[in-house]
Structure 1
Amino acid sequence: MRLALDISSQWYPDRPAEPTDASDEQELPWTTANSVALQLPTMRLLDFSSAVEGPPLLVCAPYALHRAKIADLAHGHSLMAALQEAGTARLYLTDWRSATPEMRYFSIDTFLSDLNVAVDTIGPPVDLAGLCQGGWLSLLYAARFPDKVRRLVLAGSPVDVSVPSELSRMVASLPQQSFEAMVRQGEGIVSGEHMLQVWSLPFNLLDVEAALQRRLDGKSEDARVLLDRFTRWNDETLDLPGTYYLEVTDWIFRQNRIAAGDFVALGRKIDLAAVTLPVFLLAAEKDIVVPPDQAFATMRLLGTPPAWLQCDTEPCGHLGLFVGCMALTGPWRRIARWLQSDLDEATGGRARISA
């Protein structure tokens, strides 16, 4: 079993972006140039903008096992670059920090609070695009601060886990005490390296090709660099705060509190029926982590008018949604156009795509 089923990377850029701080020197370099807009206890807010005007888009990376570079893996396989090329001028990314002992009591509320600071720094209202588990965090934020989010994108995002998946079945099959034991073993921190051993399987060339949606010559220099880059990315795991980890496994994946209407975010119970902003849902047809039925089950929980709900699928596995060349030039281009369109309330809220 693995959380990341078909992850990959691509070639190094011709001229990699400079490291955004000294800690990056030992890490895989970013593909697309960016700067650090804000340093917070939970994240660095990275700025990929090419202009100072226009509606801002904040991409919320998953805080689970791997680093946020899944959104900027390589040339031709970078979501951030694809969004730039599709006309997104103001663009940001949450680069979540690996947990330190001082972070062991950080909770979901802690991450929501810092996400709120990031949004205030960018300047609300923002568009939010949540990737995988960054999706449920983005949805909670949009429900908690409805005036600060203009539109919401949920890509491969688990929300209603009553619709089964391999991930939800796996979590349900284990007693919560086993997750608590993992936290105790790490003295309040869940080791990313340990999670990688538990959840991940070895990758081969076919796995990489499936995620990239691209055939590779396994003997070529490009393929060697690609596999080396992927290996480095796969090895750069994130440690998680124990409190956050237990809340996610119990509240999100065992009790299904978000879908059930029982989740309390920063002191307020979340009612998804009160979420009425435009939402775009993206799913992968071959996804066993968040299958389409689960990804699209979120629609029936929202109060968004039907004309403001959009959905799309891509014939790939889970993380192919974020690095696949066809996914980035297909549904993500449509998402970018949708974010840039006008919603004409006089015609029932249909999106009018601008030239």
Structure 2
Amino acid sequence: MTATIDEAGAPGDPLEAQSEAPSPDPAAYLRGYHATAAVRGVTAMTKGAGYVLQRALTQSVTPGQNTQDARRWWRHVLTRRRPQWHNDHEIVFETPIARLRDFSQGSTDDVVPTLVLPPQAGHDSCIVDFQPRQSQMMVIREAGLTRAFTLDWVGATRETSGTTISDYIAVVDRAVEHCRETVGRDSVNLVGDCQGGWLATIYAAMHPDKVNTLTLAGAPIDFHAGETPIGASSRVMTQRFGQLPYRAMVAAGGGNMPGSFVLGGFIAIRPDAEIAKHVDLLRNLDDPAAIARYESFEDWFKHTQDVPGAFYLWLVEHLFAGNELINGTLEVDGRRVDMRAISCPLFLLGGATDHITPPVQVFAAADHVSTPADQVTRRTAPGGHLGLFMGNQALRYEWPPLMTAVAEHSRRTD
């Protein structure tokens, strides 16, 4: 099966469901995975070539038209713009590593504020406000959580290459304090997407009194649960070479992990999806709506930003390799991060065919917190990883009931 561009522009992800246990031989798993990916890639290329040949034979397309279409296609492939935030908001504060954006839009509603921690994997944080009508921030507001904020991760520079986990926890705390003071509430609803999810979990474990509810979407909490190409690759490399490959990439980036390297890794995982996406563009050169979807996604996906090198290497050592958050051995600022300190209502969202963070990695959070079982909500959305945050299916049908439930925990009862 080939990947497709869904209505939001995110690649469809029709992979098989992942196993709940990692392979005992990650190298063998990777060989099989990449062999399958290569076959998928060749199949996608063959279908693309077949479409061009069929068009030439059955539609009486002249060489001039073919040349003109090739130029149009190539222009769309190469032309990238900086991704944009779309709905009304204001920037509350800005630091060298993050901005806080307020989407409250003038609301004075007496409701617990909601703070989103977006993914941080070499892409712009505006994924949470992807399009005017396809926006996680607007879904949150429409659920009644009108005091809505999000952090916006700033791409790393040479000056910020030494940023640490402590620096990120500090900026999250500053954002939480702003939300609490502005709204006049003692706590916030934390929403963590992907990497923002484990960061939100660490913060909630360290400051449980400041977190009213915790929502995790596509978030790798148990990095060793299930089997994924990213997880298997990290296990193979760290077992054989330690952190040397990661340090080499950071060194090549002048002290930071280049966003372009991260992008290349994502494309290598699903080369067939990348090829199919461009073949679909060729098929839809005369469809303005399809081209707009393609361009919106590519603008976000291909515009990369670097990740601080010190932070990235910490992540690889302590979470990807060490899985210390789940093991209970993680320390931040000299304190052990104990997930059992989390007892607030917990909302978990996974993608059924997510090959980056399978649902088992997200749902594992429920087994390590103190939240009562009747206050844990697990929800599995059809589709893959990016669709959880920008896809129409997730934004229309998966997020609204979760955020409505969060809103029920966010109104005053006294």
Range into which the TM-score falls when normalised by the shorter chain? 0.7 to 0.9
Deviation at 1:199, TM superposition (A): 3.1
Cα deviation code 1:20-57 (max 9, x no counterpart):
xxxxxx73221211110111221010111131332111
Deviation at 1:165, TM superposition (A): 3.0
Partner of 2:212: 150
CA 1:49–1:261 in 2, change beyond 3 Å: closer, same or farther?
Answer: same
Partner of 1:197: 264
Which residue of 361, 365, 375 maps to 1:308? 375
CA 1:253–1:8 in 2, change beyond 3 Å: closer, same or farther?
Answer: farther
The 8 Å contact of residues 124 and 303 in structure 2, kept in 1 or not, is answered as: yes
Cα deviation code 1:295-332 (max 9, x no counterpart):
11111111111111111111111111111212112121
Q: Which whole-Å CA distance do the structure 1 matches of 2:362 and 2:168 have between them?
A: 22
Q: Which whole-Å CA distance do the structure 1 matches of 2:276 and 2:128 have between them?
A: 21
Partner of 1:239: 306
CA 1:222–1:204 in 2, change beyond 3 Å: closer, same or farther?
Answer: farther
For residues 1-355 of structure 1, the aligned pairs below 5 Å read 9=8, 27-50=82-105, 51-53=107-109, 54-123=111-180, 124-166=186-228, 167-175=230-238, 176-201=243-268, 203-204=273-274, 219-342=286-409
Q: Which whole-Å CA distance do the structure 2 matches of 1:197 and 1:286 have between them?
A: 21
Deviation at 1:6, TM superposition (A): 7.8
CA 1:306–1:10 in 2, change beyond 3 Å: closer, same or farther?
Answer: same
The 8 Å contact of residues 8 and 392 in structure 2, kept in 1 or not, is answered as: no
**Which residue type is aligned with residue 165 of structure 1?**
E
Secondary structure, aligned partner of 2:321 = coil
Runs of 4+ in 1 over 6 A off after TM superposition: 5-8
Deviation at 1:108, TM superposition (A): 1.2
**Which residue type is aligned with residue 330 of structure 2?**
F
CA 1:113–1:187 in 2, change beyond 3 Å: closer, same or farther?
Answer: same
The 8 Å contact of residues 76 and 325 in structure 1, kept in 2 or not, is answered as: no
The 8 Å contact of residues 218 and 385 in structure 2, kept in 1 or not, is answered as: yes
Q: Which whole-Å CA distance do the structure 2 matches of 1:309 and 1:39 have between them?
A: 34
**Which residue type is aligned with residue 244 of structure 1?**
F
Partner of 2:183: none
**Which residue type is aligned with residue 169 of structure 1?**
A
Aligned residues: 321
The 8 Å contact of residues 355 and 384 in structure 2, kept in 1 or not, is answered as: yes
**Which residue type is aligned with residue 207 of structure 2?**
F
**Which residue type is aligned with residue 395 of structure 2?**
L
Q: Which whole-Å CA distance do the structure 2 matches of 1:149 and 1:59 have between them?
A: 12
Q: Which whole-Å CA distance do the structure 2 matches of 1:207 and 1:155 have between them?
A: 25
Percent identity between the two aligned chains: 32
Cα deviation code 1:130-186 (max 9, x no counterpart):
001100000000000111111000101101122133121121121321001111222
Secondary structure, aligned partner of 1:130 = strand
Cα deviation code 1:101-124 (max 9, x no counterpart):
111110111101111011111114
Q: Which whole-Å CA distance do the structure 1 matches of 2:7 and 2:226 have between them?
A: 26
Q: Which whole-Å CA distance do the structure 2 matches of 1:321 and 1:246 have between them?
A: 26
TM-score by length of 2: 0.73
Q: Which runs of 5+ in 1 are unaligned?
A: 12-25, 209-215, 344-351
**Which residue type is aligned with residue 144 of structure 2?**
G
Structure (1 or 2) with the larger CA radius of gyration: 2
**Which residue type is aligned with residue 98 of structure 2?**
M
**Which residue type is aligned with residue 125 of structure 1?**
S
Deviation at 1:87, TM superposition (A): 2.1
Deviation at 1:81, TM superposition (A): 1.7
CA 1:236–1:90 in 2, change beyond 3 Å: closer, same or farther?
Answer: same
TM-score by length of 1: 0.84
Q: Which whole-Å CA distance do the structure 2 matches of 1:88 and 1:205 have between them?
A: 39
**Which residue type is aligned with residue 271 of structure 1?**
D
Deviation at 1:290, TM superposition (A): 1.1
Secondary structure, aligned partner of 2:159 = helix
The 8 Å contact of residues 35 and 47 in structure 1, kept in 2 or not, is answered as: yes
Deviation at 1:197, TM superposition (A): 2.2
Higher helix share: 2
Deviation at 1:280, TM superposition (A): 0.4
